[in-house]
Amino acid sequence: MKTYIPNKFIVERDPERCIRCQVCVNQCSFDSHYYDAEDDEVRSREENCVGCHRCVLFCPTGALTIRRSPLDYRENYNWSSEVIEDIIKQAETGGMLLTGMGNDKSQRIYWDHLLLNASQVTNPSIDPLREPMELITYLGRKPDCVEVDLRCVLGTELAPQVKLDVPVMFAAMSYGAVSLNVQESLARAATEIGTLWNTGEGGLHPSLYKYGNNTIVQVASGRFGVDAEYMDAGRVVEIKIGQGAKPGIGGHLPGEKVSADVSRTRMIPQGTDALSPAPQHDIYSIEDLSQLIYALKEATNYTKPISVKIAAVHNAAAIGSGMVRAGADIIVLDGLRGATGAAPKIIRDNVGIPIEMALASLDTRLRQEGIRNLASIVVSGGIRNSGDVAKAIALGADAVYIGTAALIALGCTVCQQCHTGKCAWGICTTDLALTKRVNPDIGARRLANLLRGWSLELKDILGGMGINALESLRGNRLHLRGVGLTDTELGILGVRMVGD
């Protein structure tokens, strides 16, 4: 069938600069460049270009420019080129539209409508270059009160706690969705910086067990790679109920991505689809969730916090309250913009709620019910920089997860082709030739650099507020003001209007 989908990008090759070295041909995993030996020229198949810019950055003579192809449909606010082309694609394939990364639509990003405070005159700001600034965060269930005797010995038995030097963790990205080199980069950076990375639900590769102390191991509906050794290896065990990019639906890792090594780590035969059912079939209620939480506590002999991750949906606050009562030590909310290796586009772009709102309402709810101390709150889904982190913490989060930001640090340009398994940057693929493009030595360095930069910024933000510990910002919504928001939005966020 002839496709009616136009090219998305124009590939411009400057003939003056091109030396026919074919780096672009080798770098492009989507076959957008080819060498014509007869004419001794490198040519383009523009219909294949996804705009990832791998070739542009690797062209030694700077001969390439990639531009968006002008979309010369007649202007129409309702029938945008994206809408038209989605329909064409479905008419040609009869399938669900699949996509990668997070929601790219224009729903309001509340972080951009929240502004942080700083001290002026009446309360001195603190210079983080000269004074100690505390970013340390402990995740886990906190007691209602602690008993300390006169010799300063703690009399209260504490639930297991996990110390983070920086309140930014790497979000769940499974081996299979991303490559082993990506996971190794994440694991090494987390270890160096003193935070945690998350296995996702694809099991833990034997070569990564040594980073176990900085690892969150996930137990999801597919139960891939879950055994006693796996749970013992992790610092935290996380039950994954849902994901912001695809709330309420399961996952299918396509058979092409289930290589020999992925198959070993997931414990399924090579080449079969790795199917994660939509629900966990032992969890149909809060009571059932409690049963799995305590099964995992039993299985790890109460030595590790048990985290439960849900997508931020309409009733996230009430569900979160139930999760705390079910025994979760850490609650993870993944918002509307949470990313994915593959999800139906219609789900990604239309299901869920913004993380800012979900976080604010959950924190408020748990405080109202007097159970906020019983679980830590971690949020994820579109956290872009340390400003977002500071705002999340002021809204009540204990820590955040970053996924997309971490992948960008490794080279990702958010071209949204993760689901094809052909990632030219070698990130979201199991193709062994491509995965070599991420060197874990360099990858770990880039990720650690990113977190170091964010920590410095967080300390600057805190110092400016006249605060010397992140703990003093946590849930402190007086340090936030809203701009361009309605009263209802301000009410849910628990934040006053700028100028007020």
Partner 1 sequence: MAKSGGNSVVKINASGVFYRELNARLRDIASNDAQRVELHNVCGQRYIGTDLDKPIEIEIFGTPGNDLGAFMDGSRVIVHGNAQDGCGNTMNEGEIIVHGHAGDIIGLSARGGKIFIRDDVGYRAGIHMKEYGDKKPVLVIGGTAQDFLGEYMAGGILILLGLNLSAGEHHQAKYIGTGMHGGVIYLRGSVEDYQLGQEVGIADLEEKDYQIVRKLVGEFAAHFDYEPATILEGKFIKLYPRWLRPYGRLYAY
Interacting residue ranges for partner 1, rule: CB under 8 A: 89-90, 92-98, 222-224, 226-228, 231, 252, 254-255, 263-264, 266-269, 271-273, 275, 277, 281-282, 291, 294-295, 298-301, 344, 419-420
The number of beta carbons lying within 10 Å of the beta carbon of residue 181 is: 22
CB of 153 to partner 1, least distance (A): 24
Query: What's the CA gap between 437 and 29, in Å, rounded?
Result: 12
CB of 280 to partner 1, least distance (A): 9
Cβ 258 to partner 1 shortest distance, Å:
9
C-beta closer to partner 1: residue 171 or 415: 415
Output the smallest distance, CB 92 to partner 1, in A. Answer: 8
Would you say 299 or 456 has its CB closer to partner 1? 299
Q: How far apart are CA 477 and CA 444, in angstroms?
A: 34
The C-alpha angle 284, 296, 227, rounded to 5 degrees, equals: 105
- Which residue's CB is nearer to partner 1, number 252 or number 384? 252
From 401, 419, 349, 441, select the one nearest 100 (Cα to Cα).
419
Which residue, 263 or 373, has its beta carbon nearer to partner 1? 263
CA atoms lying within 13 Å on the CB side of residue 377: 33
Shortest CB 378 distance to partner 1, Å: 24
User: Is the Cβ of residue 263 or residue 472 nearer to partner 1 in the bound state?
Assistant: 263
- Kindly list the distances between the CA atom of residue 167 and the CA atoms of 72, 154, 257, 332, in Å, as whole numbers in the listed order: 46, 26, 32, 13
The distance of closest approach from Cβ of residue 247 to partner 1 in the complex, given in angstroms and rounded to an integer, is 18
User: Where are the alpha helices (H) located in 12-71, listed in sequence order?
Assistant: 23-27, 54-58
Closer to partner 1 by Cβ: residue 274 or 312:
274
Tokens of 40: 């001794």
* CA dist., res. 438 & res. 201, Å (int): 21
Check: CB of residue 138 under 8 Å from CB of residue 158: no
Q: How far is the CB of 218 from partner 1 (least distance, A)?
A: 13
**Shortest Cβ 356–partner 1 spacing (Å):** 31
Phi (first) and psi of residue 308, to 5 degrees: -130, 125
Tell me the three state secondary structure of residue 306: strand
112 vs 273 by CB, closer to partner 1? 273
Task: Report strand pairing: 64-68 vs 41-44.
Answer: unpaired
**Choice between 64 and 268, CB closer to partner 1:** 268
Q: Nearest CA to 312 among 284, 278, 354?
A: 354
